[in-house]
Amino acid sequence: MRIGLGINYSGGFTEAAAEVADLERAGLDIVFVPEAYSFDAVSALGYLAAKTTRLQLASGILQLYTRTPSLTAMTAAGLDFVSDGRFVLGLGASGPQVIEGFHGVPYDAPIGRTREVVEICRKVWRRERLEYQGKHYQIPLPEGRGTGLGKPLKLINRPVRERIPVLLAALGPKNVALAAEIAEGWQPIFFLPEQAEQVWGDALRSGLAKRDPALGPLDVYAGPALAIGENVTPLLEFVKPTLALYIGGMGAKGKNFYHALATNYGYGAAADRIQELYLAGRKQEAAAAVPEDLARDVSLIGPAGFVKERIAAFKEAGVTVLNVLPMASTAAERVALIEQLRTLCG
């Protein structure tokens, strides 16, 4: 299995970049740079391209609505160029809180827009003259929507690759089916190996049935927290607030994808209680209400033997990349964790 991690987008990037070079030497395979309402991910990815040699670099994620499809394609081609073909284009819809609240752009039709953005990107990378008349994007603009002066263009530069890998962050059945159909990779959240087939199996099979064989096998990126040792179980308490934030606070009642996921995992009553507490502002109580076994089973936290068993469970469930969150306070400790994980993964 390959190993990845995401860097912190809220500050200290110079230090994080120096650490990534050490992590690369420790056996890390791919690093993700997120983009929320922080500094943009593209600047950081370009910087990391110059500081690394082997590591894949992924946007984790670029939001569908914040760039035109053509600019997304241009950006991906540029990052692939400066990294000598090591870039992975991570895309996702994000949510209304960021898209409408920070960017002032309507959050609509995420599934349809995802398909069209990916199709446009691949046309750009193949250096085709860009003519695309979709439901959500029309290039060039048709008569009546612009000056009428727009003509089909193709990318001036020749990309390193005409097929840059696309990774889709997806959670709901239709989104997951789309990822399995059109993307090289799929990134779920809070992946629970024992429940993955029940929750996502039908959606994955539906998408894979329509998949172009040229895309190759679907990579699955799980994101467990990581701590290895005899006395690390108490660190599960640091996983619970994140679960509570998503299950309880990322959306109103009836409109929270993460609450629905926890319910589908079999934790419906707990999810209801977490949401009730979180929306009432009782965040610590909401975290305390997260079931211990849910926090444990979506993580890699425990003695080496236990972690090795959980790695096997993730692999059995179809995971190909462990995009871990090291539970460590120093760079040296994080590097040591990646080295340990590399050994356990074989």
Q: What is the DSSP letter of 71?
A: H
Q: For position 259, what pLDDT does the model report?
A: 96
pLDDT at 36 over 90: no
Amino acid 139: pLDDT? 97
Rounded mean pLDDT, 86-95: 94
- The whole-number pLDDT of residue 11 equals 65
Rg (CA), the chain: 20
Mean pLDDT of 152-168: 97
User: What residue segments make up the domains of the chain, in order of their start?
Assistant: 2-227+301-345, 230-300
The whole-angstrom separation of Cα 29 and Cα 1 is 10
CA distance 97 to 326: 27
pLDDT digits (tens, 9 = 90+) for 58-90: 999 999 999 999 999 999 999 999 999 999 999
Is residue 193 very low, low, confident or very high in pLDDT (cuts 50, 70, 90)?
A: very high
Cα 17 from Cα 9, distance rounded (Å): 11
Helices (H), 138-229: 173-182, 193-208
Tell which residue, 176, 180, 190, 177, has the closest CA to residue 258: 190
Higher confidence at residue 263 or residue 12?
Answer: 263
* 3-state secondary structure at position 161: coil
Contacts of 34 (CB under 8 A, 6+ apart): 6, 7, 9, 41, 60, 61
3-state class (DSSP) for residue 32: strand
Indicate if the pLDDT at residue 10 is higher than 70. Answer: no
Higher pLDDT, 344 or 16: 344
In terms of DSSP bridges, do strands 132-133 and 87-92 run parallel, antiparallel, or are they unpaired?
A: unpaired
Q: What is the mean pLDDT of residues 141-163?
A: 93
3-state DSSP assignment of residue 241: helix
Say if residue 151's pLDDT is above 90: yes
pLDDT in tens, 233-271: 999 999 999 999 999 998 889 889 899 999 999 999 999
What is the mean predicted confidence (pLDDT) over 265-282? 98
Task: Say what the pLDDT of residue 15 is.
Answer: 84
The pLDDT of residue 247: 97
Q: Write the pLDDT tens digit of every residue in 106-117.
A: 999 999 999 999
Mean pLDDT of all residues in the chain?
A: 95
CATH number of the structural domain 2-227+301-345: 3.20.20.30
Half-sphere exposure of 154 (CA within 13 A, CB side): 11
Q: What is the pLDDT averaged over residues 289-308?
A: 98
Residues of the chain with pLDDT > 70, as a percent, come to 99
CA dist., res. 284 & res. 241, Å (int)? 7
Query: Is residue 317's pLDDT more than 90?
Result: yes
Task: Give the pLDDT confidence score for residue 9 in this predicted structure.
Answer: 64
